[in-house]
Amino acid sequence: MDPAFSFDQLQLSKRNHGLLLEALRYPITPPGMHYTLVHYDVPALDAASWQLSVGGLVEEPFELSYDELVELPSVEATVTLECAGNGRSGITPDMHSVQWHDEAVATAVWKGTHLGALLERARVKSSAVEIVFSAPDRGFEDETEQSFARSLTVQQALGGDAILAYAMNGAPIPPQHGYPVRLIVPGWYGMASVKWLMSIVAVASPFRGHHQAIAYRLRQKPEEPGEPITRILPRALMVPPGIPTFFGRHRTIDLGGCLLEGRAWSGMGPIASVEVSADGGATWDEARVERELDSPWAWCRWTYLWRPETVGEYELRCRARDEAGNSQPDVATPNLGGYCNNAAQRVAVTVRARPGE
Amino acid sequence: MDPAFSFDQLQLSKRNHGLLLEALRYPITPPGMHYTLVHYDVPALDAASWQLSVGGLVEEPFELSYDELVELPSVEATVTLECAGNGRSGITPDMHSVQWHDEAVATAVWKGTHLGALLERARVKSSAVEIVFSAPDRGFEDETEQSFARSLTVQQALGGDAILAYAMNGAPIPPQHGYPVRLIVPGWYGMASVKWLMSIVAVASPFRGHHQAIAYRLRQKPEEPGEPITRILPRALMVPPGIPTFFGRHRTIDLGGCLLEGRAWSGMGPIASVEVSADGGATWDEARVERELDSPWAWCRWTYLWRPETVGEYELRCRARDEAGNSQPDVATPNLGGYCNNAAQRVAVTVRARPGE
């Protein structure tokens, strides 16, 4: 039976929109089609008055204005970001959160300055174990007031490819994506890429904030500490072929060759292969994979020429495997938060006779 | 009791995102925050190969390339667009369509060429009664294949302020908003502003396409022909004050003065007044209205300093009246399609003691 969703689930799911899957055809997601997840409200910030403070267990704490940040050596990174809750509706449709199906993903070109270089300037003390990144996005989780904050270990922060971004696709970052400055942690699920970044603090013990210690952990029971969510698991998605019904979005194509296309990505290594099944997972064929974007952190394109032989009902699936040996399951292992469900996409398709035949 | 929504309703509501209400603070909606309603799929179009055909009952049918369109005399219009289904979840939560609450609205600056001038060049014959605007956005309504098309009467098309837009906020129109060319009909609900415009045809009898004769009509019974939906009814919305709960988005503010702000608009005339109630509609106070944008088709800003005297639970409402005498009801008259529900917005707010007091 179909799950039923509450008004509050619907409301959150409408605020936090995904990628229209037909937009998988674009290597860089066009403006406004990039998925967005806003925990509370988009804060009203202004680059002119924005200041980043870098402090805590560092030898040289400092503050930085937006103009000063933009003057630092810059780097560009083409990054596929995905929400850790992508696929949630397939494993925890009753959870009090955004009910993503499989559309919480997108790719953008971020321009900014290296986080590691900024931290070297501050000289993190050896007593520090983590770096905490905080935003002014405030709200309540149950009865407790929170603002969004996340941490990285000192090693992850200093040694990784994270950047403090101030431009997205050649323009200022739109408000809902983190204006004026967003931390971008390539290869990680989106929660690590803290929007509206205001402070960076080196701390002596592992950060216990809500979005680090409670949310974004893989747990089977509420009392478990759980495993922290970090890097993006592999996933392939296709542009649903043919044309949809308005309600239900069931697909119909005409009999004949149909070029399936999509994208595949992993935060754990380059994509090694994409496979397609047209018989609900009974048999799989290899798709052609193209590295269209010159970035280790961006999705690649795949295509597959599907030639259904008869009219009828089909179930298409696609799945990716990365070079680190991770592959997509047919069915994901559930977890309480509904995270990291990278089960292979399923698209039901009716193949009809060509009109006039 | 809360209504329950199906997976298919959730899916459509996620594809078609609204304005985050905190973005009502911006006079022009930032990139990616403009509401979007896509009936079927966003078509893959390219300005280089796009062609508009203007034909039917005209003396001089012609075709126009994108470059030729851009060379024509241009006009800019700042336009508030709203989906005719905005507010649907408040009157027909079981309808098989997008379950908008109140967020399907936004304002953009559109640049293009006057529709009327283009039709004068084609010289519409006196036998024509309507002009039909068609797009390649295809899908099924029940069992019947459709593509999106809408009509205006010859008088509406020739005499109005409609434009063929090729830029939105100074950039090419993003795919989901109608790239490369969109008809913009200022003052009308969004269904009239046909995206991905491909053809303009003058016809001898009223157009009977699905999105003209079946959808977008006010009906009490399925067998009625219904009244066509045209101009936008007045509405005021506020930025929900304070901070939200993550789930449910209930608001909390600290005791003290709270500046409420929002926007108000009508497609039937300038906004005459905005009123605010802080006691669930028992008493109303006038808000301050500012015409921030120099356009008859754009929303205006309003502000109201709310001074709750005690901690406790409040229900805020706001409502607009236009100079044509239209005002917002407390409760809308239902109709089968769930259209045009402009009932006054309600925002529940907890006022708490200031922290530390």
Does residue B320 register a pLDDT over 50? yes
- Tell me which long-range contacts B175-179 makes (C-beta under 8 A, separation of at least 24): B175/A23, B175/A26, B175/A30, B175/A33, B175/B42, B175/B45, B176/A20, B176/A23, B176/A30, B176/A32, B176/A33, B176/B36, B176/B38, B176/B42, B177/A32, B177/B34, B177/B36, B177/B108, B179/B45, B179/B47
| Residue whose entry in the numeric block shows the structure tokens 């967020």 | B103
Task: Collect all residues of chain B within an 8 Å Cβ-Cβ radius of residue A5.
Answer: 4-7, 9-10
Q: Residue A326 — pLDDT band, cuts 50, 70, 90?
A: very high
Does residue A294 register a pLDDT over 70? yes
Q: What is the pTM of this model?
A: 0.96
Contact state of A243 with B97 under an 8 Å Cβ cutoff: no
**pLDDT tens string A307-318:** 999 999 999 999
pLDDT at position A190: 98
Cα B75 from chain centroid (whole Å): 21
Q: Pick the residue with more confidence: A150 or A10?
A: A150
B174 interfacial to chain A (CB closer than 8 Å): yes
Neighbours of A36 (CB within 10 A): 26
A354 interfacial to chain B (CB closer than 8 Å): no
Strand, coil or helix: A232:
coil
pLDDT at position B160: 85
Give B168's strand partners. Answer: B110, B171
Strands (E), B8-142: 51-56, 62-65, 75-82, 105-114, 130-141
Q: Residue B355 — pLDDT band, cuts 50, 70, 90?
A: confident
Q: What would the mean pLDDT of B221-241 be, rounded to a whole number? A: 97
Ramachandran class of B194: left when φ > 0, alpha when ψ lies in -120 to 50, beta otherwise: beta
Label residue A165 exposed, middle or buried (CB < 10 Å: 0-12, 13-18, 19+).
Answer: buried
Compute the radius of gyration of chain B from its Cα atoms.
21
Report how far residue A313's alpha carbon sits from residue A327's, in angstroms, rounded to the nearest whole number. Answer: 27
pLDDT at position A29: 98
pLDDT at position B3: 73
Cα A63 from chain centroid (whole Å): 30
User: B313: which residues sit within 8 A by CB, 6+ positions away?
Assistant: B348, B349, B350, B351
Contact state of B32 with A8 under an 8 Å Cβ cutoff: no
Report how far residue A140's alpha carbon sits from residue A143's, in angstroms, rounded to the nearest whole number. Answer: 6
Report how far residue A112's alpha carbon sits from residue A282's, in angstroms, rounded to the nearest whole number. Answer: 46
Does residue A212 register a pLDDT over 90? yes
Task: State the sign of the Cα–Cα–Cα–Cα dihedral B315, B320, B325, B330.
Answer: negative
A12, two tokens: 């959150």
Report how far residue A223's alpha carbon sits from residue A219's, in angstroms, rounded to the nearest whole number. Answer: 9
pLDDT at position A357: 67
Q: What angle do CA B195, B201, B202 make, to 5 degrees?
A: 130
Minimum distance, in Å, between the CA of residue B22 and any CA atom of chain A: 7
Tell me the residues of chain A between 36 and 75 that have a Cβ less than 8 Å away from chain B.
36, 38-42, 44
Contact state of B12 with A249 under an 8 Å Cβ cutoff: yes
Cα A68 from chain centroid (whole Å): 29
Task: Collect all residues of chain A within an 8 Å Cβ-Cβ radius of residue B32.
Answer: 31-34, 36, 174, 176-177
DSSP state of B184: E
Report how far residue A181's alpha carbon sits from residue A341's, in angstroms, rounded to the nearest whole number. Answer: 29
Compute the radius of gyration of chain A from its Cα atoms.
21
Residue A220 and residue A178 in contact, taking contact as beta carbons nearer than 8 Å: no
Neighbours of B313 (CB within 10 A): 10
Report how far residue A172's alpha carbon sits from residue A193's, in angstroms, rounded to the nearest whole number. Answer: 16
Rounded to the nearest 10°, the torsion over CA B266, B269, B270, B275 is -50
- CA atoms lying within 13 Å on the CB side of residue B29: 31
pLDDT at position A31: 86
pLDDT at position A1: 45
Cα B101 from chain centroid (whole Å): 13
Q: Pick the residue with more confidence: B11 or A189?
A: A189
What b/e string do you get for B144-174 counting C-beta neighbours within 10 Å, with b at 16 or more? eebbbbbbbebebbbebbbbbbbbbbeeebb
Neighbours of A356 (CB within 10 A): 4
Q: What would the mean pLDDT of A148-156 be, rounded to a whole number? A: 97
User: A183: which residues sit within 8 A by CB, 6+ positions away?
Assistant: A115, A133, A162, A163, A164, A165, A192, A193, A194, A197
Cα B315 from chain centroid (whole Å): 26
Give B245's strand partners. Answer: A140
Minimum distance, in Å, between the CA of residue A117 and any CA atom of chain B: 31
Report how far residue B90's alpha carbon sits from residue B343's, in angstroms, rounded to the nearest whole number. Answer: 9
Task: Collect all residues of chain B within an 8 Å Cβ-Cβ radius of residue A32.
Answer: 31-34, 36, 174, 176-177
What DSSP line would sit under B1-59, residue for residue?
---EEEHHHHHHHHHS----GGGGGSSSPPTTTS----SS------TTT-EEEEEESBS
Share of chain A above pLDDT 90, in %: 90
What are the Cα distances from residue A107, in Å, to A80, A202, B255?
4, 30, 43
Minimum distance, in Å, between the CA of residue B350 and any CA atom of chain A: 12
Q: What would the mean pLDDT of A154-180 be, rounded to a whole number? A: 96
Label residue A46 exposed, middle or buried (CB < 10 Å: 0-12, 13-18, 19+).
Answer: exposed
Contact state of B252 with A140 under an 8 Å Cβ cutoff: yes
Contact state of A244 with B6 under an 8 Å Cβ cutoff: no
Which of A34, A41, A103, A148 has the highest number of chain B CBs within 10 A, making it the mutation to test binding with B? Answer: A41
ipTM score here? 0.95
* Domains located in chain B, CATH noted: 7-228 (3.90.420.10), 235-352 (2.60.40.650)
**pLDDT tens string B322-354:** 999 999 999 998 999 999 999 999 999 999 998
Q: What would the mean pLDDT of A124-143 be, rounded to a whole number? A: 96
- By Cβ distance, the residue of A12, A103, A247 closest to B96 is A247
Minimum distance, in Å, between the CA of residue A270 and any CA atom of chain B: 28
Query: Residues for chain B: how many in total?
Result: 357
| Residue whose entry in the numeric block shows the structure tokens 């280089």 | B48
Does residue B357 register a pLDDT over 70? no
pLDDT at position B187: 97
Task: Collect all residues of chain B within an 8 Å Cβ-Cβ radius of residue A216.
Answer: none
Share of chain A above pLDDT 70, in %: 99
Minimum distance, in Å, between the CA of residue A26 and any CA atom of chain B: 10
- By Cβ distance, the residue of A11, A32, A97 closest to B31 is A32
Does residue A248 register a pLDDT over 70? yes
Report how far residue B135's alpha carbon sits from residue B212's, in angstroms, rounded to the nearest whole number. Answer: 14
**pLDDT tens string B183-202:** 999 999 999 999 999 999 99
Does residue A342 register a pLDDT over 70? yes
Residue B107 and residue B23 in contact, taking contact as beta carbons nearer than 8 Å: no
Contact state of B33 with A141 under an 8 Å Cβ cutoff: no
- By Cβ distance, the residue of B2, B18, B23 closest to A14 is B18
- By Cβ distance, the residue of A38, A44, A243 closest to B41 is A243
